[in-house]
Amino acid sequence: MKRIKFLAFAVATFLTVSSVVYLNSCKKDPCKDVVCNNGGTCVDGTCSCTTGYEGADCSTEMRTKFLLSTAGFTDAGTSDSSYNNTTGHSYSGLTYNMTITKGTGINDLIISGIGGYGCTGGSTNITATMTSSTAFTIASQVACNYTFSGSGTVTSAGKVQITYTATYADGGHAGKTVTDHGVATQN
């Protein structure tokens, strides 16, 4: 009788352990069928993207929302502050074309035609760096004798807005240095 009880206990223990092992082995891996592109990794069934990429499968470059080809921009509040009090220069409402293309690195953008500035024998191509999926910065840099700096965002309406400063030497006004500040919004 003792032997039958022991055998029944052993069988019950075996069935219990087997059931637990079987049920735990049947849990589905939430990342089994998830494909994360561009170096992204799956965490609990959702892709965690590497810098510069976004989307459900990390296949979208963040900077694509900034790319523009000859988009009309309008400046609001641009002024040459260093001698604005004597000349009254104001460029508010100036409309010009500007392009934004991909730069070398995944977070880089090239901005051409910012502020409508032009020059002889060169271009005002400047480099911007993505800081988030909706923003970039323009580190201080010289392009065609202008020193540019600033930042940009994608607005809630999907338009690009750039706030910038351009500093240059103005030979027409006794060699003064002129600083223009502008906020340009895509039309």
Structural domains of the chain in order of their starting residue, each with its CATH number: 2-60 (2.10.25), 67-186 (2.40.128)
pLDDT of 144: 81
Predicted confidence at residue 68, as pLDDT, reads 82
Q: What is the pLDDT of residues 131-159, one digit of tens each?
A: 999 999 999 998 887 888 989 888 888 88
Report the alpha-carbon distance of residue 53 to residue 47 in Å, rounded: 11
Kindly tell me if the per-residue pLDDT of 24 is higher than 60: no
Half-sphere exposure of 110 (CA within 13 A, CB side): 12
Mean of pLDDT values over 118-124: 70
State residue 86's pLDDT score: 38
Torsion of CA 89, 128, 53, 155, to 10 degrees: -10
The span from the CA of 175 to the CA of 129, in Å, is 32
What is the β-pairing status of strands 176-186 and 68-80? antiparallel
Helix H, strand E, coil C: the string for 66-106 is: HCEEEEEEEEEEEEECCCHHHHCCECCCCEEEEEEEECCCC
Read off the pLDDT of residues 26-71 as tens digits, 9 standing for 90 and up.
678 999 999 999 999 999 999 999 999 999 999 999 999 888 876 6
Contact yes or no for 60/54 (Cβ under 8 A): yes
pLDDT of residue 81: 44
Contact 142, 123 (CB under 8 A): no
Q: Which residue has the higher pLDDT, 109 or 112?
A: 109
Cα separation, 119 vs 109, whole angstroms: 21
The percent of residues in the chain predicted with pLDDT above 70, rounded, is 61
Mean of per-residue pLDDT scores for the chain:
77
- pLDDT for 102 beyond 80: yes
By CB neighbour count within 10 A (0-12 exposed, 13-18 middle, 19+ buried), where does 16 fall? exposed
Share of the chain above pLDDT 90, in %: 32
The pLDDT, as a whole number, for residue 146 is 82
